[in-house]
Amino acid sequence: MKKITLIYSGGSDSFTLLHHALDQGLDVDCITFNYGQKHAKEVDFAKSVCKELNLKHTLIDIGDSAAIFGSSSLVDESNKIPYGSYKEDSMKSTIVPNRNMIFISYAIAYSIANEISEVWYGAHAGDHFIYPDCRPEFLKSMDVAAGLCDPSQVSVKGPFINLNKGQIFKKGISLGIDYSKTWTCYEGQEFACGKCGSCVERLEAFADNKVTDPLNYK
């Protein structure tokens, strides 16, 4: 059975990617990162899903990420999470500098150490506008770099790189997966805010598929 390392945040995209991999009959090791984000609710969801599916799950604590990621609104307590669409300039504050390169680098090292040939992450077309490390050219470059850093020739894959969130949810819905087991909101409250860029995009994706989001919103 082919084995992959999957970067799993606990959010809806990586949750769908995980089930897509399992549906293909792949053996999956999941890696989740604590990078100093304002809340750990996604991480808790990731732990729960991996436990339920009896998957190997590694939680990596990057450490003093505030010193690395600066004033990103996802890590800096003094910088408020903006509300609205990702197309608005204010959403640039949610960029965590070089985050995916860091995550993928850890995942490549893990894969080399565990003799796993592929790393998967859940970047998608809806991210291209605002996040440089979710674009096809970034993925291609990381795949090349992974092949150069070790004779084992680990490859980096982004199976959803050309799909928008609505298309990803369509795939997940067809697989019958339960999106109540995911957390997307940038705020870690009891209920999702429904206003941050992540919530707005999620709700639009469910609407595109004429399905009601199972999460509770304020």
Domain limits for position 119: 3-70+97-176
Q: What is the mean pLDDT of residues 65-70?
A: 75
Pairing mode, strands 27-34 and 155-157: unpaired
Total structural domains within the chain: 1
- Domain-embedded: residue 184: no
CA distances from 87 to 4, 29, 99, 102 (A): 33, 34, 20, 25
For position 78, what pLDDT does the model report? 63
**Has residue 15 got a pLDDT over 70?**
yes
User: What is the SS3 assignment for 18-77?
Assistant: HHHHHHCCCEEEEEEEECCCCCCHHHHHHHHHHHHHCCEEEEEECCCCHHHHCCCCCCCC
Q: What is the mean pLDDT of residues 209-217?
A: 97
**Has residue 79 got a pLDDT over 60?**
yes
**Has residue 73 got a pLDDT over 70?**
no
- Domain-embedded: residue 139: yes
- Domain-embedded: residue 87: no
- Domain-embedded: residue 187: no
Question: Each residue of 20-43: pLDDT tens digit?
Answer: 999 999 999 999 998 878 788 999
For position 36, what pLDDT does the model report? 76
Q: What is the mean pLDDT of residues 96-102?
A: 83
Q: Residue 129's CB: how many other CB atoms inside 10 A?
A: 12
Q: What is the mean pLDDT of residues 130-136?
A: 85
Question: Each residue of 145-170: pLDDT tens digit?
Answer: 999 988 888 999 999 999 999 999 99
- Domain-embedded: residue 142: yes
- Domain-embedded: residue 126: yes
| Region of poorest pLDDT, from 95-99, 119-123, 150-154, 192-196 | 95-99
- Domain-embedded: residue 105: yes
- 193: which residues sit within 8 A by CB, 6+ positions away? 83, 185, 186, 187, 199, 217, 218
CATH of the domain at 120: 3.40.50.620
- Domain-embedded: residue 170: yes
For position 95, what pLDDT does the model report? 72
